[in-house]
Chain A
Amino acid sequence: MRPFILILLIGLISTVAFSIADESSQDQNKNEKELSGKLIITGSSTVAPLVSEIAKRFESQHSDVRIDVQMGGSSRGISDVRQGVSNIGMASRSLKENEEDLFAFPIALDGISIIVHKDNPVTELTDEQIISIYTGKITNWKEVGGKDAPITVVNKAEGRATLELFLDHFRLKNSDIKPHVIIGDNEQGVKTVAGNQNAIGYVSIGTAEYDSTIGIPIKLLPLDGISASIENIRNGTFPIYRPLNLVTNTLPEGLTKAFIDYAGSKEVADIIEGQYFVTLSK
């Protein structure tokens, strides 16, 4: 008899589990007063941590709402929202020409900065030096005023907005770059550079600032002589900056609208600044 009880138990658990699944799969609720339902947000890995925190706070204020944030890259976020796979897309760049039919709602500004290990004596690199390092023409730190050690070049994997902006700014093609390590998300880049005293990489400024503040041994290098600080992004002097956008397919309504409004409001300014992004002045 005992084996059958076991099989019965498994069947019972699965039935219970499936019924939980059925109950909770509601569609978005159009009623604005009592917000409930589920939002699926996918897209850029730069924006994802920010939107996750905003979503957590939003959920704590509306107990029937559930927001799932998944990374997938800016292009993926836009494609998902177009196909209706997600409700909102996250993009760490402005919309391209062939995306003009979508609606973008910027919630913050961010920049891209070159990072090196904190103990690296080099404090500044010119644009030409950066290009030469990344294309493999300069291979040793001593050629740019550092220690006698080979440079470990960290590049981003294809398909990421951060990579596209980097290539754009320095007018390079990805096939020109001679990397030693390829990483995916920003944090991975930070981790790689922090673990290797001779590494150089580029990541989102928000990510880099946040991590260096909590003690990760990296430092941000200035570009063109302008230091990679929030102020310089805010006043537009830092060369590589981009808006962090929430993208929708149609004019947002209901829960989507409520969330986008919330994300753009002053109530989340502290979250944005806490992650070292720049709030948009309203």
Chain B
Amino acid sequence: MSEHSYRNSYKSPPCHKIGTSRRDYLPTFIVWFSAIFVSAVFFWILSSIIWHGIGQISWEFLTASPQNAGRAGGIGPILVSTALILVVCIAVALPIGLGAAIMLSEFTATESLFGRLVRRSLDILAGVPSIVFGLFGFVLFSNVLGLGFSILAGGLTLACMVLPILIRSTEEGFRSVPQEYRMSAAALGLSRTTTLFRILLPAAFPGLMVGMILGIGRAIAETAALLYTSGYVDRMPTSLLDSGRALSIHIFDLSMNVAGGNEKAYASALVLVSILLIINLISFYLSNHWLRRRIMPI
């Protein structure tokens, strides 16, 4: 009870200034050392990639087709395939994820069996290894549904992987909408549908966006799930039923299977990391910018 008032009335103290004493030198050293160590490893990896990859990046590289098993040429068709896989993934995951999140946060009591079961299964889904998703996608989408090696199969598999993240984040977004909104809407006699679409959805939109962007980030980085669903073909795809090589698979192929492919692998890795960086920045900007534009709490 007294903690409650502490929590509300004290801002977090300037923790880095309290309690220094002679006995603290060793722990302080260890803590700083581990932080520096971790940063050093990060910069080592990042600088490796930038150093070896930056020389190859050019407009030519980003648009041309791979030649000679990828040792020469560029990654144009691969970027297109990756984009298409992502579009399929989001087009499928967004509606289902949004629907499920709304269901869980708005229309289900927290303790109901239905809600608990669905949440539990989503938690497990979030922990399933990516190669098992690959197996699943291979059996269900490629074999049973007959899609073979195709962008569609890859996108559907990725949609399954991305659902838990999307749902969790969207649910958070809905939870953060103040209860007053819903009560006011009910007092005004609005149907729940109208409340949802006109009031709650716009207010929860930042959460949804962040979830979608996290999902995209996870999907782009995914390799194992795509190995057996969208395949290796590195030509420009002409339909969703064509096999297409995603950027992460291209990096994998170049580094493991192509002697002399390391340079292009570095360049592709640089492109991939840059794309992810941009996505992170967008989500950061969105969550700040949008959050500030929301309706002020009543």
Contact = CB atoms under 8 A, between A and B. Distances in A.
B87 A190 contact: no
A19 to B, nearest CB: 10
Contact of A70 (B90, B149, B201, B241): B149
Interface in B118-156: 148-149, 152
B200 to A, nearest CB: 11
A85 B148 contact: yes
Interface string A61-83: 00000101111000000000000
B61 interface: no
B256 A66 contact: no
A40 B231 CA distance: 12
Contact of B205 (A3, A10, A40): A3
Interface string A179-201: 00000110110110010000000
A20 B239 contact: yes
Contacts of A14: 87-88, 91
Given A3-B202, A10-B91, A68-B149, A24 B259 contact: no
Given A20-B238, A23-B239, A68-B243, A188 B257 contact: yes
A215 B260 contact: yes
Contact of A21 (B69, B241, B258): B241
A68 B256 contact: no
Nearest to A217: B259
A268 interface: no
Contacts of B84: 17
Nearest to A193: B259
Given A17-B88, A70-B149, A191 B239 contact: no
A24 B242 CA distance: 9
Residue from the set B148, B202, B239, B259 with the largest chain A CB neighbour count within 10 Å: B259
Contacts of B205: 3
B232 interface: yes
Given A21-B241, A24-B239, A25-B241, A70 B232 contact: yes
A10 B241 contact: no
A191 B148 CA distance: 30
Contacts of B260: 211, 214-216
A18 B238 contact: no
B202 A70 contact: no
Contacts of B240: 17-18, 20-21
Contacts of A24: 238-239, 241-242
A17 B88 CA distance: 8
Nearest to A48: B232
Given A17-B240, A21-B241, A187 B94 contact: no
B160 interface: no
A160 B242 CA distance: 26
Interface string B248-261: 00000000111110
A113 to B, nearest CB: 15
Nearest to B231: A70
A68 B259 contact: no
A70 B149 CA distance: 9
Contacts of A190: 259
Given A3-B201, A20-B238, A10 B90 contact: yes
A145 interface: no
Interface of A: 3, 7, 10-11, 13-14, 17-18, 20-21, 23-25, 40, 49, 66, 68-71, 85, 184-185, 187-188, 190-191, 194, 211, 214-216
Given A70-B231, A211-B259, 12 more contacts: A13-B87, A14-B91, A24-B241, A40-B148, A49-B69, A68-B243, A70-B232, A71-B232, A184-B256, A188-B256, A191-B256, A191-B257
19 contacts: A3-B201, A3-B202, A7-B94, A10-B87, A11-B91, A13-B91, A14-B87, A14-B88, A17-B88, A18-B240, A21-B239, A21-B240, A25-B241, A49-B69, A66-B238, A68-B231, A70-B243, A185-B257, A191-B258
Interface of B: 69, 84, 87-88, 90-91, 94, 148-149, 152, 201-202, 205, 231-233, 238-243, 256-260
The 3 closest A-B pairs by CB, nearest first: A24-B239, A14-B91, A21-B240
